[in-house]
A and B are shown apart, each in its own frame.
Chain A
Amino acid sequence: MGYLFDPANWEWLFTGNNARFILEGLLVNIQIALIAMAFSLAAGLGLALARLSRMRWLVFVTGLWIDLWRNLPLIFVILYLALALPEPWRDAYEDAAPDLLPDVLQTGRVFAALLALTLYNSAVLAEIMRAGIQSLDRGQHDAAAALGLSYWQRMRLVILPQGLRRMVPATVSQLITLHKDTTLVSIIAIQEVMRHGRIVTGFNFFGGVQAPVLQVFIFIGLLFIITNLGLSRLSRRLEIREQQRSGTTVKPISGLEDQVATAQTR
């Protein structure tokens, strides 16, 4: 216990560049999470629509795809893609990566990480979106059809805006899980917060101050807890606003890992 609170063990936090180095690493995690989320939203929407289509085979195949990515461990997919991704794909990524991205994110390895995160996350989001869309009152579909709108017009103008808005709290919640999952990319040598933390504990003779593993990783843990608490508070606030706005809510079982929202009203 004394070891935990001994101020000598926390001195590293205030010396040299250590704290900033770790925060710089955390920034990389946040960036990866946001980029992966952006791609996942687009892909997830596509998958959700496919799941809701009238073509039986498409529903079935999409269902299999979603089940596959939701059942494989994410770290497994990350490692596999990092080892097996063909060179031309990586080159294409490195050429396409815009220069406003930091150097760390322009390496081909990051493509494997982003692809893995997107494959998994889009599958989860697809289910969340599907639940949101299906939770809409049938009356909406019928009214829109009665107005003479085609399937796609109905989707675009009536169903999707309402259904997707309901899923915003659940999506923000999923961002928390995604943010935690970005630590896994440290395994494929991407320089994010875990790697920076390990460097800080290893090279204490540069700073002259011992940076013990326990304290460094408690610090990193606290950083995540704080950012994720902020996100979950945001999610709750959005949920309340949605409840006030529409009178009905889709009730996700809050904070469940790999949650699928369950519709409450039909």
Chain B
Amino acid sequence: MQTMRWRWPAAVVLALGVLVTAGCGDDDDKQAGSGETATTQARTFAAGTTMAKLKDDGEIAIGVKFDVPPFGFKNPQSGAVEGFDIDLGKRIAQELGVKAKFIEAVSDNRLPFLKDGTADLILSTMTITAERDEEIDFSEPYFVARGRVLVKEDSDIKDVDDLSGEKVCTALGSTYEATLKKQAPKADLRLVDSYSECLELIQNGAVDAVSTDDVILTGMIQQDDSLKLVGDPLTTEPYGAGIKERDTGFQKFVSEVIAKWKRDGGWAAAYQKWVGRYTGEKQDPPTTTLAEALKLN
């Protein structure tokens, strides 16, 4: 991993980036879309649609992660929530002409939040799966992550087969519980409420490995470069925005915003700012469709 040599310049750039975004936003979570593209159209929506209702309310409640850099995390110095998911959320709010209110959605309350209306939208590193699709609706994929395994740099674990008998951490209610049971049935699974706990456990040696989406693991490497990714990708994880079931009008709207975001460079800018800068890997906006994603998982 090249991250070693990147550490200091990356930290400086990150700190500058944080200062700049912290300066742009308000404190606490009520933020209007920060103008990443110049056009702010005042759109009107057909009455009775979710978009119209949100426009009336003046704000959209978006469930995001508060502890998973670089996709969703709360900066303790400024109190603001930031990340790749947040940037997409702000863009969607901007297209609606409302304010974005970010609330914390951990893995096992994401679906309940959507169902009971606590959140209007979920942008929380959520993988599109057929099982989840039965409870909620997804937008078109906005990112494709891959499942990997994270270990300490001096670990003997080289890939998923070495996980037999080792303590592996992942989040309660995430797709990795099932994945690991299938691909590493003899592993000692430790389930926690959020990935920040997994990071704590691997850093203090209580578990030997963490398995989840590579971008979440990259966020951990950002915080502790004595960790590394090993092995081949376990899974392909297309991320989708979570929408209340059967709200096809809103689902179409969100998918359109995502498509536009990919086309006009918004996606590339967010990727570079939050991921590319650390992994050093290039990526193009995903072309996987929702139908394909559902067949995968």
Q: Across the interface, which residues of A come within 8 angstroms of B66, CB to CB? A: 189, 191, 195, 199
Q: Across the interface, which residues of B come within 8 angstroms of A90, CB to CB? A: 116-118
Q: Across the interface, which residues of B come within 8 angstroms of A213, CB to CB? A: 200, 204
A253 to chain B, nearest CB (A): 35
Question: Using an 8 Å CB-CB cutoff, how does the interface string of B3-33 with A read, 1 for contact, 0 for none?
Answer: 0000000010011001000000000110000
In the complex, which of the residues B67, B116, B196 has the most CB atoms of chain A within 10 Å of its own CB atom? B116
State whether the Cβ of B261 lies closer than 8 Å to any Cβ in chain A: no
Q: Across the interface, which residues of B come within 8 angstroms of A201, CB to CB? A: 200
Is A189 a contact partner of B18 (Cβ separation < 8 A)?
Answer: no
Is B77 a contact partner of A207 (Cβ separation < 8 A)?
Answer: yes
State whether the Cβ of B50 lies closer than 8 Å to any Cβ in chain A: no
Q: Across the interface, which residues of B come within 8 angstroms of A83, CB to CB? A: 109, 112
Question: Given A17-B76, A17-B77, A108-B118, is A199 in contact with B67 using a C-beta cutoff of 8 Å?
Answer: yes
Q: How far is the CA of A78 from the CA of B291 in the complex (A)?
A: 38
Question: Given A188-B109, A202-B67, A205-B11, is A196 in contact with B118 using a C-beta cutoff of 8 Å?
Answer: no
Is A189 a contact partner of B106 (Cβ separation < 8 A)?
Answer: yes
Q: Across the interface, which residues of B come within 8 angstroms of A199, CB to CB? A: 66-67, 74, 76, 196
Q: Across the interface, which residues of A come within 8 angstroms of B29, CB to CB? A: 103
Query: Which A196-215 residues have a C-beta within 8 angstroms of B?
Result: 196, 198-208, 213
A180 to chain B, nearest CB (A): 20
Q: How far is the CA of A16 from the CA of B75 in the complex (A)?
A: 12
Q: How far is the CA of A204 from the CA of B69 in the complex (A)?
A: 13
The A contact surface, by secondary structure, is helix
Closest to A87 in B: B116
Count of chain A to chain B residue pairs whose CB atoms are closer than 8 Å in the complex: 73
State whether the Cβ of A145 lies closer than 8 Å to any Cβ in chain B: no
Is A87 a contact partner of B77 (Cβ separation < 8 A)?
Answer: no
B193 to chain A, nearest CB (A): 7
Q: Across the interface, which residues of B come within 8 angstroms of A16, CB to CB? A: 76-77
Q: How far is the CA of A83 from the CA of B69 in the complex (A)?
A: 26
Is B103 a contact partner of A107 (Cβ separation < 8 A)?
Answer: yes
State whether the Cβ of B174 lies closer than 8 Å to any Cβ in chain A: no
Q: Across the interface, which residues of B come within 8 angstroms of A200, CB to CB? A: 76
Is B76 a contact partner of A187 (Cβ separation < 8 A)?
Answer: no
Q: How far is the CA of A213 from the CA of B206 in the complex (A)?
A: 14
Is B103 a contact partner of A202 (Cβ separation < 8 A)?
Answer: no
Q: Across the interface, which residues of B come within 8 angstroms of A87, CB to CB? A: 115-117
Closest to B28 in A: A103
Question: Given A103-B28, A189-B106, is A203 in contact with B73 using a C-beta cutoff of 8 Å?
Answer: yes
Chain B interface size, as a band, is: 20 to 34
Q: How far is the CA of A201 from the CA of B73 in the complex (A)?
A: 13
State whether the Cβ of B216 lies closer than 8 Å to any Cβ in chain A: no
A124 to chain B, nearest CB (A): 27
Q: Across the interface, which residues of A come within 8 angstroms of B18, CB to CB? A: 206
Contact of A205 among B104, B200, B204, B223 (CB under 8 A): B223
State whether the Cβ of A10 lies closer than 8 Å to any Cβ in chain B: no
Question: Using an 8 Å CB-CB cutoff, how does the interface string of B192-227 with A read, 1 for contact, 0 for none?
Answer: 010011011000100000000000000000110000
State whether the Cβ of A232 lies closer than 8 Å to any Cβ in chain B: no
Is B11 a contact partner of A187 (Cβ separation < 8 A)?
Answer: no
Is B76 a contact partner of A203 (Cβ separation < 8 A)?
Answer: yes
State whether the Cβ of A139 lies closer than 8 Å to any Cβ in chain B: no
Is B193 a contact partner of A187 (Cβ separation < 8 A)?
Answer: yes
In the complex, which of the residues A83, A103, A189 has the most CB atoms of chain B within 10 Å of its own CB atom? A189
Closest to B61 in A: A107
State whether the Cβ of A11 lies closer than 8 Å to any Cβ in chain B: no
Q: Across the interface, which residues of A come within 8 angstroms of B75, CB to CB? A: 203, 206
Query: Which A127-166 residues have a C-beta within 8 angstroms of B?
Result: none
Closest to A200 in B: B76
Question: Using an 8 Å CB-CB cutoff, how does the interface string of A96-109 with B read, 1 for contact, 0 for none?
Answer: 00000001000111
Closest to B30 in A: A103
Q: Across the interface, which residues of B come within 8 angstroms of A208, CB to CB? A: 15
State whether the Cβ of A118 lies closer than 8 Å to any Cβ in chain B: no
Q: How far is the CA of A46 from the CA of B103 in the complex (A)?
A: 36
Q: How far is the CA of A5 from the CA of B109 in the complex (A)?
A: 39
Q: Across the interface, which residues of A come within 8 angstroms of B77, CB to CB? A: 16-17, 206-207
Closest to A204 in B: B223
Q: Across the interface, which residues of A come within 8 angstroms of B74, CB to CB? A: 199
State whether the Cβ of A21 lies closer than 8 Å to any Cβ in chain B: yes
User: Can you show 24 pairs from A to B with CB atoms below 8 A apart?
Assistant: A16-B76, A16-B77, A18-B76, A21-B76, A21-B79, A87-B116, A90-B117, A90-B118, A108-B116, A187-B193, A188-B109, A189-B105, A189-B106, A189-B109, A198-B196, A198-B197, A199-B66, A199-B74, A200-B76, A203-B76, A205-B14, A208-B15, A213-B200, A213-B204
12 additional A-B residue pairs with CB within 8 Å, beyond A16-B76, A199-B196 = A17-B76, A18-B76, A103-B29, A107-B118, A108-B116, A187-B193, A189-B106, A195-B66, A203-B223, A204-B223, A206-B75, A208-B15
Top 9 A-B pairs, shortest CB-CB distance: A87-B116, A189-B104, A199-B76, A108-B118, A202-B196, A17-B77, A21-B76, A206-B77, A189-B106
Question: Interface on B for A, CB 8 Å cutoff?
Answer: 11, 14-15, 18, 28-29, 66-67, 69, 73-77, 79, 103-106, 109, 112, 115-118, 193, 196-197, 199-200, 204, 222-223
